[in-house]
Amino acid sequence: MKIIFSRKGFDASGKCGRIPSPILPDGTLLSLPIPEWENRSLVKYRDLKSVNGHSPAKVIFDLTGGRDVKPTTKTHFDPDLRRCMLPRRSGWRPIFGPHPSCHTHMTKQQVKIGDLILFFGWFRKVHLVNGTYCFTPNEPDLHVLFGWLQIGEMHPAGPQNRRTAPEWARDHPHFLNDSRANNYVYISSDQLSIPRLKKKIPGGGVFEKYLPDLRLTAPEPNRLRSVWQLPRTIYPERGKELLSYHSIHSKKNPWTHATAHTLLRTRAKGQEFVLHADECPEAISWARGLITRNG
């Protein structure tokens, strides 16, 4: 089994929102989908329904001051993990369309049906001031896990494949005006299937509320958000390659084995990091626990 860490949501670049996604005052994790600048979407930010009483369009407008991204701006709503955010056709399941180059990378890493994607993004705590969402001063920037999707199906995307896609999926942005080669969408399994999982859990979904075990960024003061603290057992033992883009044999080994945990200095660029959990079965237990407690 493989576990894919997939970075999604608003990011620092001008085309991707410029700000972190919010950890809202009630703890709700709201990953903000990036804007769509290539006319590959039918959805505007104002179309997104409220989550736990929080309007995504208002949250974005308040936190950005209305710059760049407006309620009428179209959004690349992907991954699509929350049923409540849009009207749904019968049969809907969580769905994700990786960038074609990322699909190519995952194919080379032999990612297949049954493998598990853990989505993470850049987050910061916010609070309300007279009804306006504001970033909370002195709160750190964090990488936080916000959802999961176990791959149940892989479909070629693009307008040329729209008619053969499930009807409920045909308005996904990867089927609209996107004829790039190696364009695929991944649809979740009906039920999560992980060894020794004892609960019935959907094959894809979100972690609704922020809890410390969803935080990837190491808790030490002044840490970059890209430095992660993982369980001690998630480490490339005996020189084996464990995580794509993060070779233990690189000039600057990104892995540090501490007494109680592992520190990983993650690549600043890159959207999908593939962890070969068969080389580290403890990673499967860790992922199972995260989803069981927070899913």
Domain boundaries, the chain: 2-294
Integer distance in angstroms from the first to the last C-alpha of the chain?
20
pLDDT band for 14, please (50, 70, 90 cuts): low
Residue 77 near residue 149 (C-beta atoms within 8 A): no
13 pLDDT more than 80: no
Q: Which of 40-54, 181-195, 210-224 has the weakest average pLDDT? A: 210-224
Q: Is the pTM of this model over 0.85?
A: yes
Helix (H/G/I), strand (E/B), else coil: 277: helix
- Of 138, 179, 188, 145, which Cα lies nearest the Cα of 161? 179
Say how far apart CA 224 and CA 217 lie, in whole Å. Answer: 7
CA pair distance 65, 254, nearest whole angstrom = 37
Per residue in 212-267, pLDDT tens? 999 999 998 777 999 999 999 999 987 788 999 999 988 889 999 988 999 999 99
- E-strand ranges in 130-211 read 132-135, 142-156, 184-188, 204-206
